[in-house]
Structure 1
Amino acid sequence: MGVRGLKTYIENRNRNDLRSWAFRDKLLIIDGCNLYYTLYFDCNLDQMHGGDYDAFEELITQFFKNLRACDIDPYVVLDGGADHTDKKLDTIRERKQDKINAAFALSVGKKVKVLPILIKSVFRQLLHKLKVPLVQCLEEADWEIAALAEEWNCPVLSNDSDFYIFNLKAGFLPITHFQWQNVKVDRQTNKKYIQAKHFTVKQFCASFNMNTDLLPVFASILGNDYVKLQNIRCLTWAENSQNGIQHDHIDGLLNWLSPFPGPEEAVSALLTRIDDKEKAITQEALSKGIQEYKLFPGSLAKFFHSKTIPHTTCTGLLQVLPQCTLRLLLEGKMSSIIIDAVVHRRVFMVSQVEDFQLPCSSETSRPIRQVIYGLLLLGEQQTADIKTFTGTSKCYVEEYCRQQLKLSSQNVEAIQTEGLQLKTLLKEPPSVRLQVLLDTLGVSSEMLRGIQPALHLQMLVTYYWLVNAQPQPSQMHLWGLLLGMVHGKFSSTPQGQRDMLLRPKKLQTARRRFDLEHETAHLYSQWQSCLNCSLNLNSLLCFPVSEPEVASLYCGTLVHHVVRELRRGITLDSLLVRGSSAERLFNQLKGVVVSLVGEDFIKKMRTGLEYRAAGQTQRDYNGQNQPVDELSSGFEHLMYEDINDSEDDYDFNAKGRKSKGKDHKNEIPDVSYTIRTRHKTKARNANHPSKKYERSCFE
């Protein structure tokens, strides 16, 4: 939801709509997705190289530490799946296309916002570790957050402009003005507090002498994610503005609404300005939009207090899931992709920074998702709803990902695992659930022997990635990945500065800007996608292997620096302190990989030096070198000069894009170039490495 431009309008109005508040000693409902999104970008953490999750972990840890220092009790609410009515589907598609554009723009050096794929997993894990109360909604969280805040009479912390519309007694604290990094002390009471800005609908409407019930009408007329009435877009509200300020259409509409005693009178007056043919549809849409902001007790309070699973429409659609699976979803221990796959048979892939000349990085992890879909959808209770093709019953999930720069979809078949269903599978012994995971990742139980349980998932994913990645990773990419894991293990320990990596640590600390190696970015994006899907499968199977701390597994700037240093001729040995625990851990990880893939596989891998030897020029988009082929060159002209920060799923006071009088989704022309074949898609090859092992559970 959200009203575009409202946040900026309120912040720029000289009416004291945002009042200072020394905030302490209160309950606080936090819009979790909005929080991690805002903090990640506000603190300028890495986006281009796949994310620096360890730095993000430190940031979030400090945030909640400061809250507790001020006796603030946080309750975090996360978004779940898409609305079960699909009324926001067009908006979701538009935003996913925007994210593809943004990921490409970042890959060529533009300044945009791209959230790393594993951020939500890191955030959820960390909150459980910090014992911060957390609920992941089954659908979008805005209304549930507002309902809970009203029920508990406490403020909401978010940047979503919808909270300027919900009439909350305790008001709203915009994250933008929440000075959490600067904890202050009251000299009189000697108690700590955080300086914040406080907004209430009552105070805001009083400045217009307007009934507070008219704000939902205002939001619905202007249009939000649910209400988009093209037939009232032509109405001119700016002529009612009295201030001549930015967003005068917002000011004008508020002034126009203020004389009406209530919503019914305002809607009736609006309909007199609409063509008769459009009145019925307009009235119905406005009525639905207004209803979105009506508050009554929701379902979150009971779950926070007693873990009671709510009974909602979406819960009914998810009744095919066992109660323990629903509870894991609500506790935030399982990805919301589960919800979308079951309720909508539709999943949107996360856009990453990668090589846009190659197939989407999420294709590598598709076989893992197929097993997830099979467990969710192929059961006796689902047979009546399964699509039938060529005489056989098959179930498909519509996956949205990119094809070059365009959002596209394809039906992906759910794969049956030896007739196992999720409800019966969870009653099976752990060994059966483990075998499903092993078969999916192409590893035998014998191969797992001798590997520390704490390393199981990250090493299994690395094996799967080495076998299936396109193009095949070089030794340098493998060593960089393992060194990143070593860094993550030791970076938070007291001896971390002395007893771990040398050169990569210095390089990371310097945080020098360097150009992106697109092949490296693509390979690591594939690894992160494989890890993300494997985490989802592991949780769906009720954790047959322990879940690793995701923040410690990947540090984007470091692993990219390692690959660059190795390409320059720096030896692997020189990157580690000889005899240190870091060196021992690296050798242990290396030994595990060798035991999984075999020494011959490692010897046959590209060394990575071929990158220079073949004369492939690294793509430098600052004009120093030329792109490697005409498609890259073609991509250059596709990016309009002013790619501004999109408002994405939330309103973060980003600069508005220059629409030039047309729909922004048409601003990028069609791509008609032929993709080069330097790395042929392995899926076209019958000798694809993923076919070299037998998945016994698929037989």
Structure 2
Amino acid sequence: MGVRGLKTYIESRNRNDLRSWAFRDKQLIIDGCNLYYTLYFDCNLDQMHGGDYDAFEELIIQFFKNLRACAIHPYVVLDGGADHTDKKWETIRQRKQDKINAAFALSVGKKEKVLPILIKNVFRQLLHKLKVPLVQCLEEADWEIAALAEEWNCPVLSNDSDFYIFNLKAGLLPITHFQWKNVKVDRQTNKKFIQAKHFTVGKFCASFNMNTDLLPVFASILGNDYVKLQNIKCLTWAEYSVPGTQHAHIDGLLNWLSQFPEPEAAVSALLKLTDDKEKAITQEALSKGIHEYKLFPGSLAQFFDSKTIPRTTCTGPLQVLPKWTLKRLLEGKMSSSIIDALVHQRVFMTSQVEDFQLPCSSETSRPIRQVIYGLLLLGEQQTADKQALDIKTFTGTSKCYVEEYGRQQSKLSIQKVEAIQTGVMEGLQLETLRKEPLSVRLQVLLDTLGVSSEMFRGIQPALHLQMFVTHYWLVNAQPQPSQVHLWGLLLGMVYGKFSSTPKTHKDMLLSPKKLQAAGRRMDLEHETPHLYSQWQSCLKWSLCLNSLLCFPVSEPEVACLYGGTLVHHVVRELRRGITLDCLLVRGSSAERLFKQLEDAVVSLVGDDFIKKMRTGFEHRAAGKTQRDYNGQNQPIDELSSSFEHLMYEDINDCEDDDDDDDLNGKGRKSKAKDHKSETPDVSYTIRTRHKAKARNANHPSKKYERRCFE
């Protein structure tokens, strides 16, 4: 939802609409999606390279640590699937196109805002780890957040302008003015607090001498995500505004509405000013819009209090969700994409920075989603459930399809994707899936990712999912990843594992600052972000499948698996000539973990597969020498051969005494804090090295089916 321009209008007024509040020792309802969206961009974390999840993790940990220090009790609410009534459908489609445009702009070096694809996974995992109370709604969260805040009489923390419309007794704390980084101490009580700005509908409307019930009328006339009255020939509200006021149309409409005692009178007056042909449409739209802001007790309080599923949680098509999935969805332990696939038979792909001349990076992970769709839609379900679902079948067949909304170059595209079953899936039903033997659920995951039982046994349990996904990516990604992409990915996993734990110099990766020399020009080839976008998409949907199968393998900490800035710099430096030997300390835990990861990959794809991979230097002239990290020339073939082993040489020349403090944890600063100062020093050039390959627009790749499901 949201009323465009309202937040800016309120902040620009000279009146005291936002009042200071030393906030502490209270319950706080947090709009979770709005929180991680705002914090990620406000702290200038990486977008160009697929996201820096470790820096985001530090940010979120510090946020909730500061709340705890001030005795603030947070309750986080996340969005779920799309509204089952589809009343917001056109807005969703337009926003998807906007996100594609933003990702494309970033891919060509322009400034835009694109959230990394795994950010919600990281956020949910972190909140569970921190034991922060969390509920993931089954549909849109705005109304449920407002209803809970009203029921508990506590404020909402959000930047969503709809919370300026809901008449909440305890009001709104805009995230923009919530100074959580700077915890203060009351000198009189010696208690800590966070300085905030506080908004209430009552005080705002009082400045216009306006009935608070008129604000929903105001929001509906201006238009929000549900109501689009601006498409009808409308009035010029600016003529009612105070001269010189910013957002004159908002100010004018508020002044116009203030003359009416209650909503019915305002609606009646508006209809008199509307053309006869538009009266019925206008009245219906206003009625629906006003209804969206009416509050009554919701379903979240009961779940927060007792973890029991409220009877009012599921209505209409949502009733087809089995109780065991309901609980996991509400707990935030299962992806809300399952709701969209099961209830709507459509799923939106997340836009990423990639090569827009190539097929969408999410195509690589499509066979994983096909198995998810199969588990959701092809199991033997009761007739009533099938009727409620209105499953899209073709006459004379039992095939089911899900509409996937991705991109064709930079345009939103729709593709019908068939739900499929592997051999072991026959007879599995969603209702009883959690009761199936572990061996059966595990085999579904292994078959999907193309891993045999023999491969499975040779890998440590903690590495299972990330290594299975990496195997799937190596086999199916297009273009095929090179050795430098594989080593860069594995080094990123190693760094993610150890970066949050202070280690000595000899027991750690060398400082990332070695890879991020200030002012050095970085070539951002489209191949590298495209390949890593494919890997992240494969991981996202594998996490979804693993949760749907009730975790036959343990879920890894996503924040530790990928750090975009570091991984891209590793690839760049490997191409420049630095060897793996220079990035690992001999005998360290980091070296041992890298060796475990390397051995796991080799056990999954085979040593011959690794040797036949491109080295990653093919774009350079044959026989051209590269300068290694110490400035010594080294032929390309010698560099590529060094990727087949770890450390057999002395690395003293690769160490840098200037980085000791960072590696020992002395003077260690938050990555989220430092990133802002580092980013402007890097400039980008874009090179596209691959042309788009034609693909069947209506069916999954036969190559994927063959590799995954034989």
Q: Same fold (TM over 0.5)?
A: yes
Structure 2 equivalent of residue 181 of structure 1: 181
Structure 1 equivalent of residue 441 of structure 2: 433
Following the alignment from structure 2 to structure 1, what is the Cα–Cα distance between the partners of residues 519 and 83? 41
Following the alignment from structure 2 to structure 1, what is the Cα–Cα distance between the partners of residues 540 and 92? 21
- Aligned match for 2:584, one of 568, 576, 589: 576
**Deviation by residue 1:581-636 (Cα, 9 ceiling, x = unmatched):** 101110110000000000110011000010223899xxxxxxxxxxxxxxxxxxxx
Following the alignment from structure 2 to structure 1, what is the Cα–Cα distance between the partners of residues 145 and 376? 28
SS in 1 for 2:435: coil
Structure 2 equivalent of residue 223 of structure 1: 223
Q: Residues 443 and 460 of structure 1 are in contact (CA less than 8 Å); yes or no, is this contact kept in structure 2?
A: yes
SS in 2 for 1:392: coil
Alpha-carbon distance change, 9 to 693 in structure 1, aligned in 2, over 3 angstroms: closer
Aligned pair 1:393/2:398, yes or no? yes
SS in 2 for 1:516: strand
Q: Residues 103 and 114 of structure 1 are in contact (CA less than 8 Å); yes or no, is this contact kept in structure 2?
A: yes
Aligned pair 1:550/2:591, yes or no? no
| Aligned counterparts, 1:197-346, within 5 A | 197-230=197-230, 232-312=232-312, 314-346=314-346
Aligned pair 1:487/2:495, yes or no? yes
* 1:679 CA drift (Å): 6.6
Structure 2 equivalent of residue 45 of structure 1: 45
| Aligned counterparts, 1:153-172, within 5 A | 153-172=153-172
Q: Residues 138 and 336 of structure 2 are in contact (CA less than 8 Å); yes or no, is this contact kept in structure 1?
A: yes
**Deviation by residue 1:535-593 (Cα, 9 ceiling, x = unmatched):** 00000000000000000000000000000001111111111111111011101100000
Structure 1 equivalent of residue 360 of structure 2: 360
* 1:499 CA drift (Å): 2.3
**Deviation by residue 1:98-134 (Cα, 9 ceiling, x = unmatched):** 1001001001111110000000000000000000000
**Deviation by residue 1:174-206 (Cα, 9 ceiling, x = unmatched):** 000000000000000000000000000000000
Matching residue's letter, 2:317:
L
Greater mean deviation of Cα atoms: 385-394 or 147-156 = 385-394
Following the alignment from structure 1 to structure 2, what is the Cα–Cα distance between the partners of residues 226 and 693? 44
SS in 2 for 1:591: helix
Alpha-carbon distance change, 579 to 552 in structure 1, aligned in 2, over 3 angstroms: same
Following the alignment from structure 2 to structure 1, what is the Cα–Cα distance between the partners of residues 507 and 216? 58
**Deviation by residue 1:40-70 (Cα, 9 ceiling, x = unmatched):** 0000000000000000000000000000000
Aligned pair 1:408/2:413, yes or no? yes
SS in 1 for 2:176: helix
- Aligned match for 1:529, one of 534, 537, 548: 537
Alpha-carbon distance change, 59 to 485 in structure 1, aligned in 2, over 3 angstroms: same
Q: Residues 337 and 347 of structure 2 are in contact (CA less than 8 Å); yes or no, is this contact kept in structure 1?
A: yes
Q: Residues 171 and 198 of structure 1 are in contact (CA less than 8 Å); yes or no, is this contact kept in structure 2?
A: yes
Following the alignment from structure 2 to structure 1, what is the Cα–Cα distance between the partners of residues 235 and 616? 60
Alpha-carbon distance change, 532 to 513 in structure 1, aligned in 2, over 3 angstroms: farther
* 1:503 CA drift (Å): 5.3
Aligned pair 1:464/2:497, yes or no? no
Structure 2 equivalent of residue 590 of structure 1: 598
Greater mean deviation of Cα atoms: 530-539 or 224-233 = 224-233
Structure 1 equivalent of residue 486 of structure 2: 478
Q: Residues 365 and 533 of structure 1 are in contact (CA less than 8 Å); yes or no, is this contact kept in structure 2?
A: yes
Alpha-carbon distance change, 229 to 679 in structure 1, aligned in 2, over 3 angstroms: closer
* 1:314 CA drift (Å): 4.3
* 1:426 CA drift (Å): 1.8
SS in 2 for 1:447: helix
Matching residue's letter, 2:704:
S
Q: Residues 357 and 691 of structure 2 are in contact (CA less than 8 Å); yes or no, is this contact kept in structure 1?
A: no
Matching residue's letter, 2:599:
G
* 1:512 CA drift (Å): 6.6
Structure 1 equivalent of residue 68 of structure 2: 68
Following the alignment from structure 1 to structure 2, what is the Cα–Cα distance between the partners of residues 512 and 333? 42
* 1:530 CA drift (Å): 0.1
Structure 2 equivalent of residue 502 of structure 1: 510
Alpha-carbon distance change, 445 to 505 in structure 1, aligned in 2, over 3 angstroms: farther
Following the alignment from structure 1 to structure 2, what is the Cα–Cα distance between the partners of residues 519 and 355? 7
**Deviation by residue 1:255-305 (Cα, 9 ceiling, x = unmatched):** 000010000000000000001121111111101100100110000000001
**Deviation by residue 1:381-427 (Cα, 9 ceiling, x = unmatched):** 35553334362111111100000010010111111232322223321
**Deviation by residue 1:305-329 (Cα, 9 ceiling, x = unmatched):** 1112133474542333321111010
Unaligned runs of 5+ in 2: 625-687
Aligned pair 1:419/2:427, yes or no? yes
SS in 1 for 2:440: helix
Structure 1 equivalent of residue 661 of structure 2: none
Alpha-carbon distance change, 281 to 687 in structure 1, aligned in 2, over 3 angstroms: closer
SS in 1 for 2:539: helix
Unaligned runs of 5+ in 1: 617-674
Matching residue's letter, 2:417:
V
Matching residue's letter, 1:118:
L
Following the alignment from structure 1 to structure 2, what is the Cα–Cα distance between the partners of residues 320 and 167? 34
Q: Residues 471 and 679 of structure 1 are in contact (CA less than 8 Å); yes or no, is this contact kept in structure 2?
A: no
SS in 1 for 2:208: coil
Q: Residues 172 and 200 of structure 2 are in contact (CA less than 8 Å); yes or no, is this contact kept in structure 1?
A: yes
Structure 1 equivalent of residue 671 of structure 2: none
Length, aligned pairs only: 638
**Deviation by residue 1:422-478 (Cα, 9 ceiling, x = unmatched):** 223321111110000000101111110121111000000000000000000000000
Following the alignment from structure 2 to structure 1, what is the Cα–Cα distance between the partners of residues 700 and 622? 27
- Aligned match for 1:452, one of 460, 464, 468: 460
Q: Residues 50 and 529 of structure 2 are in contact (CA less than 8 Å); yes or no, is this contact kept in structure 1?
A: yes
So what's the TM-score if we normalise by structure 1? 0.88
SS in 2 for 1:195: strand
* 1:97 CA drift (Å): 0.5
**Deviation by residue 1:130-165 (Cα, 9 ceiling, x = unmatched):** 000000000000000000000000000000000000
